[in-house]
Structure 1
Amino acid sequence: MSIFSKIKQTISLMQEVDLDALAKISKKINIPEVMSAVGELDDTQLKGLMKMLKTQGKRGQHKLPPIDGDFYDLSLKLSQEERDIQIKVRNFMEDEVKPIANEYWNKAEFPHHIIPKIGALNICGIAYEGYGCPNQSFLMEGVLAMELARVDVSISTFFGVHSGLAMGSIYLCGSDAQKEEWLPKMQRMEVIGAFGLTEPNVGSAVAGGMETTCYKEGNEWILNGEKKWIGNATFSDITIIWAREKETNRVKGFIVRKENPGFKAEKMEDKMALRTVQNAKITLTDCHIPESDRLQKCDSFKDTAKVLKMTRAGVAWQAVGCARGAYESALKYTKKREQFGRPIAAFQLIQNHLVEMLANLTAMQTMCFRLSELQDQDLLTDEQASLAKVFCSMRTRDVVSRAREVMGGNGILLEYDVARFVADAEAIYSYEGTKEINTLIVGRAITGYSAFVG
């Protein structure tokens, strides 16, 4: 190819880029010198220059793939009705919660005005039968936990405490009369619930070391003790309190109303995670509870454990949602953020981080999907729920860390959302059973030996 032909072809390519841009460039550089330099390029160098110019010229026309963390299209396995519910909740979270999530997280306050709006979605107690509940699948419950956490883990936790732990305690352990009294109002979110199990001195060891006590006096029960980390309890209408009966040493469950004398809930301050969730330290001082508010179908910690097993899958799904929110936020950022004249998503090291994040997320999603299928078939075991909690909470930590990394310094700013996911992942890692305790549950199941101490 002659020098003239090379220059002509190069000019043609430059014209395809943008003539106005070329005119502006001519004011900054010496075009004849550039043309002379082009003429001295060998074929390989010229091909590289032509490729670069073509890429630059077409970049504005390049259609990028959508940002979607469901890489294996698991949503296609949902029915149309389930998919409609999922999209309804996703739109609500994007429109109503996302614009205020960082503000309330930063202030450590709860946006009470959204409670009636969540109630209007008709998703509370979604997997329960009767009492105004939708009677959908546990899979649907898990998918919704993910959708809520994908935008704000705090709101997902608030919802899980109310709909899963509090309503679930009454659903599994309450009498027919108690279910009729409370569940319809809780389903509509006219009554908000909390769940009081963890104590200041016992978390993982609460099954055998519960210090809150109860004893019966006439037709009433007297409760004394403390609870800690109780989500929603600063404003809940009722709190499910678990206490050990002095006489029999067996665990009982109680529906404690906020107006009960002897019940006091104080907000816990200075948290680094789930700051929107209003956790409370509860003090019970000769708190009198009528026999009618004792959960009639609970007579041991085994009954408490049934509630925890039912809801642990939801926590694994929350981890998926946290990871998905971080991944999608990071992917969106890398497509817009430019360095060295290109979006950082075009660089190999960034793509490596994104792919590893997606691999972890996809593994978590498929595990939880199967977990919920087992739950819907009434085949779910404690160790299966524990394995999902262990794996998903660990992998979420990795995903949010990489999301922060690809965003550089901006990753620690709330305005980009990922900083909130990084912090909230730490809470998911610990609640509903620490990684270590859930590991021992699985280890006991696969080896036949219990490594628990005591």
Structure 2
Amino acid sequence: MSGTFSKLKNAYHLLKSIDFAMLAKLSEKVDLPKVMESVAKMDETQLNGLMKMLSSRGKKKELPPIEGDFYDISSRLNAEDRALQLKVRAFMEKEIQPIVNEYWLKAEFPFEIIAKFRELNICGVTYEGYGCPNRSFLMEGIIAMEMARIDASVATFFGVQSGLAMGSIYMLGSEAQKQEWLPGMQQLNIIGAFGLTEPEVGSGTAGGLTTTAKREGDTWVLNGQKKWIGNATFADVIIIWARDLDDNQVKGFLLRKDTPGFSVEKIHDKMALRIVQNGLITLKDCRIAESDRLQNASSFKDTAKVLRMTRAGVAWEAVGCARGAYENALAYTRSRKQFGKPIAAFQLIQGHLVEMLSNLTAMQTMVFRLSEIQDAGNLKDEHASLAKVFCTLRTRDVVSRAREVMGGNGILLEYNVARFVADAEAIYSYEGTKEINSLIVGRAITGFSAFV
């Protein structure tokens, strides 16, 4: 008797809870008896699934974080290095991201960021002494990636300053030259540039420089041109590589910006790295003191030591460029709706995203190992060249897919992928083309040199 009473009581409360007005409206749209019949035939698992779906309606779906480090490589960093990585990331997101599209479009350099960079104290990050932080090559790579994740132009400016220019002095300069230049360059009070490439000589710099140097007593007379020289329009000192007319060997010189016979013309109408101020340098009877010749640079093999060191950093820049494109594209696909739902919910879009992430993850693990080799002092030309070839190739694929999943919006600066698409082309070419770097690796694995 008590069981029957309990059932009647539950039925009474159920009837009280029914919104009959709502049922009347619902019956106008659906066949309620058929719906009830279908529900009655469901087993317990199906009913639980239906109730879960109904209870979740109206709730905002919690999406996973947008994170390009899928294998959590950053967890391999110690606490101090991880803190620096996040510090650089915060700086790039706060100081660079809001202004980068404007300056990229104008092809101008935001000089106001130099003082802000100074506060980070990361210039010359791998060098010991002269005010430099003396951290690992791995950390240098992480910093390059974080910069390029927001903008490859700013990463390139920094790479020229901290890597190519400071690195030439640190590795090949005399102690007096290091003392004169490195502390000021570390604080970005002195801006540097690196002059190797020429209008008619790119890949053939090892043996074909047309810029010449002739010694006259304690003075060297330089003549020739250099092209694509980043920071050249405002640098205080430019490392100039020239062929000694007496012994036909490549030597390095510290060219001060006020040297008579030196002029520079900004290169206009670039489609990539537009913030970088590339210059065409002309040297006409520039007289440079012997004391401003890099004292430990006597052949192109010495120049190659600098390029080997910085080429690894370019591979990291490629990773950053790809990561920025991927993360922006992922965010876009989760917010852009078509056919009633975010396009990230469609299979073809997810296929592109997974391809992008696969490439990015492979690149990250490769450059991480590359930096470990470099920190162990075992880096060879072929190690850096292989990473440069692979990462820049894969970056082109990642940025292409990022632009594809964004449709027409992918070519607009405001959606923060078009820059990466363009800038990837420059990263692909500088610091050695794919072909030249491939031949460096080919020589190492076959024992035969295919260079002309």
Deviation at 1:56, TM superposition (A): 9.7
One-letter amino acid of the structure 2 residue matched with residue 421 of structure 1: F
Q: TM-score, normalised by structure 1?
A: 0.91
Q: Which moved more, 1:292-301 or 1:51-60?
A: 51-60
Q: What residue is the counterpart of 2:27 in the other structure?
A: 32
**Separation in 2, partners of 1:37, 1:248:** 97
What letter is aligned with 1:435?
Answer: K
1:60 positional shift: 3.5
Question: What is the rounded CA distance, in whole Å, between the counterparts of 2:168 and 2:256 in structure 1?
Answer: 15
Distance 2:136 2:224 in 1: 37
**Percent of matched pairs sharing the same residue:** 68
2:424 equivalent in structure 1: 425
In structure 2, the CA distance between the partners of 1:53 and 1:346, relative to structure 1 (3 Å rule), is: farther
**Per-residue deviation, 1:340:** 1.1
Moved more, 409-418 or 341-350: 341-350
Residue in 1 that maps onto 2:183:
184
The structure-2 alpha-carbon separation of the partners of 1:38 and 1:124, relative to structure 1 and needing over 3 Å to count, comes to farther
**What code does the residue aligned with 1:34 have?**
K
CA distance in 1, matches of 2:383, 2:343: 39
User: CA, structure 1 residues 194+203, in 2 after alignment: closer, same or farther (shift >3 Å)?
Assistant: same
Partner of 2:120: 121
Q: Describe the SS at the equivalent of 1:233.
A: coil
Q: Which runs of 5+ in 1 are unaligned?
A: 1-11
- Alpha-carbon spacing, 1:32–1:426, altered in 2? closer, same or farther (3 Å): same
Q: Give the deviation of 1:36 after TM superposition.
A: 2.2
**Change over 3 Å in CA distance of 1:256–1:338 after alignment to 2:** same
Deviation at 1:42, TM superposition (A): 8.2
Query: What amino acid maps onto 1:98 in structure 2?
Result: Q
Aligned to 2:381: 382
Sort the Cα spacing of 1:60 and 1:427 in 2 relative to 1 into closer, same or farther, 3 A. Answer: farther
Alignment of 1:7-86 (within 5 A): 31-36=26-31, 39=34, 43=38, 54=53, 57-58=56-57, 60-86=59-85
Distance change in 2, residues 1:35/1:273 (3 Å): same
Change (3 A) 1:41 1:350: farther
Counterpart of 2:29 in structure 1: which amino acid?
A: V
Instruction: In structure 1, give the amino acid aligned to 2:30.
Output: M
Cα deviation code 1:179-234 (max 9, x no counterpart):
01100000000000000000000100111110000001121110000000000000
**Residue type of the partner of 1:253?**
G
Q: 1:163 to 1:55 in 2, by over 3 A?
A: farther
Instruction: Look up the match of 1:205.
Output: 204
The equivalent of 1:219 in structure 2 is 218
CA distance in 2, matches of 1:412, 1:162: 30
**Which residue of structure 1 lines up, in the alignment, with residue 10 of structure 2?**
none
Whole-Å separation in 2 of the counterparts to 1:133 and 1:368: 23
Report the AA paired with residue 35 of structure 1.
Answer: V
Query: Helix, strand or coil: the match of 2:122?
Result: coil
- Give the counterpart letter for 1:307 in structure 2: V
Matched, 1:412 2:422: no
1:145 equivalent in structure 2:
144
User: Post-superposition shift, 1:55?
Assistant: 7.4
Aligned to 2:339: 340
- In structure 2, what residue type is equivalent to 1:150? R
Task: Measure the CA separation in 2 of the matches of 1:414 and 1:53.
Answer: 42
> Could you tell me how far apart the structure 1 residues matched to 2:415 and 2:59 are?
24
Tell me the CA shift for residue 54 of structure 1. Answer: 2.7
Q: Which residue of 2 aligns with 1:245?
A: 244
Relative distance call for 1:56 and 1:103 in structure 2 (3 A) is farther
Partner of 2:156: 157
Q: Secondary structure at the match of 2:305?
A: helix
How far apart are the structure 1 equivalents of 2:404 and 2:91?
29
**1:447 Cα offset (Å):** 1.0
Task: Note closer, same or farther for the CA distance 1:283–1:63 as it changes in structure 2 (3 Å cut).
Answer: same
C-alpha change, 1:59 and 1:210, in structure 2 (3 Å) is farther
Secondary structure of the corresponding residue to residue 112 of structure 1: coil
Distance 2:390 2:58 in 1: 40
In the alignment, is residue 270 of structure 1 matched against residue 265 of structure 2?
no
C-alpha deviations, 1:278-323, integer Å up to 9, x for none?
0000000001111111100000000000000010000000000000
Structure 2 residue identity aligned to 1:137:
S
Alignment partner, residue 234 of structure 2: 235
Going from structure 1 to structure 2, the CA distance change for 1:254 and 1:55 (only over 3 Å counts) comes to: farther
- Over residues 358-383 of structure 1, what are the superposed CA-to-partner deviations in whole Å (9 max), with x where a residue is unaligned? 01000000000000000000001100
Q: How many residues align?
A: 430
Q: C-alpha displacement at 1:38, in angstroms?
A: 8.0
User: 1:63 deviation in Å?
Assistant: 1.2
In 2, Cα distance between equivalents of 1:362 and 1:123:
26
Query: What residue number does 2:299 align with?
Result: 300
Question: Distance between the aligned counterparts of 1:140 and 1:56, measured in 2?
Answer: 48
Pick which of 33-42 and 173-182 moved more: 33-42
Aligned to 2:366: 367
Q: Which amino acid aligns with 2:154?
A: I
Displacement of 1:41 in angstroms is 9.5
TM-aligned CA deviation for residue 35 of structure 1:
2.1
Cα drift, residue 33 of structure 1: 3.1
Deviation at 1:451, TM superposition (A): 1.3
Q: RMSD of aligned C-alpha atoms? A: 2.3
